[in-house]
Structure 1
Amino acid sequence: MTLLVFGRTGQVSMELSRCAPDAIFLGREAADLTDPAACAAAIREYAPTAVINAAAYTAVDRAEAEEATATRINADAPAAMAQTCAALGIPLVHISTDYVFDGSGTAPRQPGDPAAPVNAYGRSKLAGERAIQQAGGTYAILRTSWVVSAHGANFIRTMLRLSETRDALNIVDDQIGGPTCAADIATACLAIAEQLIADPGKTGIYHFAGAPDVSWKDFASAIFAAAGRDVAVTGIPTSDYPTPAQRPLNSRLDCGATGAVFGLARPDWRAGLHDILTELGKGRT
């Protein structure tokens, strides 16, 4: 398989470079997602057997003021990728988000449930999903949540940084979801790409999130326990921690279809947390 990956320095693309070092990785300097035509041209130039789009505009709060830019990167660029892949008969794996849902209720969301994003980032990602579907090619849209790794900006690294100077933290406890390690997402994307090549009939939208579901507060407590940090964590409601972009309270994703179709079970984020802390040299000694 000749694999072309959009993204080079993001959490998932960095993990992809570890497990697929022979893949072609395109950073912003090679394929700027604000220029959809450049993305299409790159696919035509390299003529891969599969494409993974691991690049995105992910600054959720900033997107409230930059929705046009977020939409250009998260919708227009994937549209160009999908149209080119469809024309060339190349499967596309695209990473999306739980933020396409409104976060109501407590039941895990099914891939076919109605989407109703509550912020600009979610709207831009949903527009990208719809453009990929409309292109008519072979694709897998993989919605995930709460991505973490040993690199980049993510919750684990933020908690570790705060624990260097704080012995008590207030953390939101009414948002529930599945933390998902970037390494697990990378492995899933590769498996899905290979299976789409063999069976285009597996085209569709799927969910992939870590288990078990947890609140941010309880996730923080698990991080501190695993890292041997003595930090008191107090749960607070989302209303006590206002942000420019509204966050969904329910980020639970039903991943049953992903297991049934691709044989990919939900990964245990606790094992991934151990690996991340070990890589960072922050594990309990």
Structure 2
Amino acid sequence: MRVLLFGTDGQVGWELQRSLSYLGDLFCVGRDHPDYEGDFLEPSGLVRTIEAIKPDVIVNAAAYTAVDKAETDQENAHKINVESVLALAKAAEKHQAWLVHYSTDYVYDGSGDLPRSEETPTAPINVYGKTKEASERAIRAHCSRYLIFRTSWVYAARGNNFIKTMLRLAKSQQTLSVVDDQVGAPTSAELLADCTAHAIKKVKSVALQVDEERLAGTYHLVAKGFTSWHGFAKTIFDLSKKNGIKLVVQSVEPVPSSNYPTPAARPHNSRLDVSKFEKSFDLTLPAWQLGVERMIKELSE
């Protein structure tokens, strides 16, 4: 199996380099690859890379993820998240390759307090969410073999993320205020990468093409359970102290989102129902706390 991975510079892309390496011949293409084009501001270059490698599977871990900046940088956000993904979808269909793409809880409006299923109507409330919704529609319209994984609150030991920000602040401030009216599932890049490899292995191992394409679709892929950013922060600090990381923070105050206004609106409810993924790929996803504990242990060492 020939697997082409775009977006190796990010948290998920970094972990995918490990998990996908066991599937066959893996081609990892970042933005500045010396031999292949991987710049998502140049969709035609991505197509040339696909033409050169002729992969069986294309995994797209690249995206414009600067949520607030996207409100004013709409042209680049659309180019990266929509136009380039459309080019990937058309190229994948031409070569009868599978396309794996990551989407987001931001395709929903964040209302209510129940988990969303994949059939829940989308209604993004910011530019980033609108571009990711458009990328999903482009794939469904032009590609028959695809896996779209909607995820949320991604973190990893590599790169910048909520856990690292909280630990940095907690080493210098005794009191922190953290938003408590946004709820979701903290999900590790490691979990996403391992589940992606498992899903690809399954779709490529079925005997008949009709069974292979039956697995194509949109899936919610997050860790089990949910918490607020405030609850997430408290768990980070509790686990850090347990693992010997020295912090000076003494109290973590819950505050509403209105205390921290941002250019882009955030969904208050990012709960996603993962039962479709678990049933389709015969997996039981772990509780969100397990991935956080694993990362804290890694950082403490």
TM range (shorter): over 0.9
**Do the aligned residues in 1 keep the contact of 2:226 with 2:288 (CA within 8 Å)?**
no
Give the Cα–Cα distance (whole angstroms) in 2 for the partners of residues 161 and 92 of structure 1. Answer: 37
SS in 2 for 1:234: strand
Give the Cα–Cα distance (whole angstroms) in 2 for the partners of residues 99 and 148 of structure 1. Answer: 16
**Do the aligned residues in 2 keep the contact of 1:224 with 1:230 (CA within 8 Å)?**
no
Q: Paired residue for 1:19?
A: 19
Asked if 1:205 corresponds to 2:218, the answer is: yes
Q: TM (normalized to structure 1)?
A: 0.96
Q: Which has the larger radius of gyration?
A: 2
Give the Cα–Cα distance (whole angstroms) in 2 for the partners of residues 82 and 235 of structure 1. Answer: 43
Asked if 1:105 corresponds to 2:112, the answer is: yes
**Do the aligned residues in 1 keep the contact of 2:64 with 2:77 (CA within 8 Å)?**
yes
| Stretch moving more, 183-192 or 222-231 | 222-231
Give the Cα–Cα distance (whole angstroms) in 1 for the partners of residues 201 and 130 of structure 2. Answer: 29
- Given candidates 269, 283, 287, the residue that maps to 1:264 is 283
Asked if 1:179 corresponds to 2:186, the answer is: yes
Counterpart of 1:203, as a letter, is: A
User: Can you give the 5+ residue segments of structure 2 that lack an aligned partner in the other structure?
Assistant: 207-211, 242-246
SS in 1 for 2:254: strand
- Given candidates 252, 255, 264, the residue that maps to 2:274 is 255
Asked if 1:245 corresponds to 2:248, the answer is: no
Counterpart of 2:297, as a letter, is: T
Residue correspondence of structure 1 range 111-260 to structure 2 within 5 A: 111-197=118-204, 198=206, 199-228=212-241, 229-231=247-249, 232-260=251-279
Give the Cα–Cα distance (whole angstroms) in 2 for the partners of residues 171 and 218 of structure 1. Answer: 9
CA deviations 1:194-230 (Å, max 9, x no partner) are: 2232312111110011122000000000000000135
Give the Cα–Cα distance (whole angstroms) in 1 for the partners of residues 125 and 282 of structure 2. Answer: 32
Does the C-alpha gap of structure 1 residues 221 and 230 become closer, same or farther in structure 2, counting only changes over 3 Å?
farther
Give the Cα–Cα distance (whole angstroms) in 1 for the partners of residues 299 and 18 of structure 2. Answer: 16
Counterpart of 2:265, as a letter, is: Q
Counterpart of 2:118, as a letter, is: P
Give the Cα–Cα distance (whole angstroms) in 1 for the partners of residues 20 and 117 of structure 2. Answer: 30
Give the Cα–Cα distance (whole angstroms) in 2 for the partners of residues 113 and 212 of structure 1. Answer: 19
Give the Cα–Cα distance (whole angstroms) in 1 for the partners of residues 199 and 104 of structure 2. Answer: 17
CA deviations 1:165-185 (Å, max 9, x no partner) are: 111110000100001000000
**Do the aligned residues in 2 keep the contact of 1:97 with 1:122 (CA within 8 Å)?**
yes
CA deviations 1:227-276 (Å, max 9, x no partner) are: 01352111011111111110000000011100111123222222211221
Give the Cα–Cα distance (whole angstroms) in 1 for the partners of residues 281 and 42 of structure 2. Answer: 32
SS in 2 for 1:109: coil
**Do the aligned residues in 2 keep the contact of 1:98 with 1:144 (CA within 8 Å)?**
yes
Counterpart of 1:24, as a letter, is: F
**Do the aligned residues in 2 keep the contact of 1:86 with 1:136 (CA within 8 Å)?**
yes
User: Can you give the 5+ residue segments of structure 1 that lack an aligned partner in the other structure?
Assistant: none
Asked if 1:9 corresponds to 2:16, the answer is: no
- Given candidates 261, 267, 274, the residue that maps to 2:293 is 274
Once the two structures are TM-superposed, the CA of residue 24 in structure 1 deviates from its matched residue by: 1.2
**Do the aligned residues in 2 keep the contact of 1:138 with 1:196 (CA within 8 Å)?**
no
| Stretch moving more, 177-186 or 270-279 | 270-279
**Do the aligned residues in 2 keep the contact of 1:3 with 1:23 (CA within 8 Å)?**
yes
**Do the aligned residues in 2 keep the contact of 1:5 with 1:23 (CA within 8 Å)?**
yes
Give the Cα–Cα distance (whole angstroms) in 2 for the partners of residues 263 and 179 of structure 1. Answer: 22
Give the Cα–Cα distance (whole angstroms) in 2 for the partners of residues 241 and 253 of structure 1. Answer: 24
CA deviations 1:85-130 (Å, max 9, x no partner) are: 0111101110000000000011101111111100010011011000
SS in 2 for 1:141: strand
**Do the aligned residues in 2 keep the contact of 1:93 with 1:192 (CA within 8 Å)?**
no
Give the Cα–Cα distance (whole angstroms) in 1 for the partners of residues 272 and 285 of structure 2. Answer: 10
Give the Cα–Cα distance (whole angstroms) in 2 for the partners of residues 217 and 279 of structure 1. Answer: 22
Structural RMSD (CA): 1.2
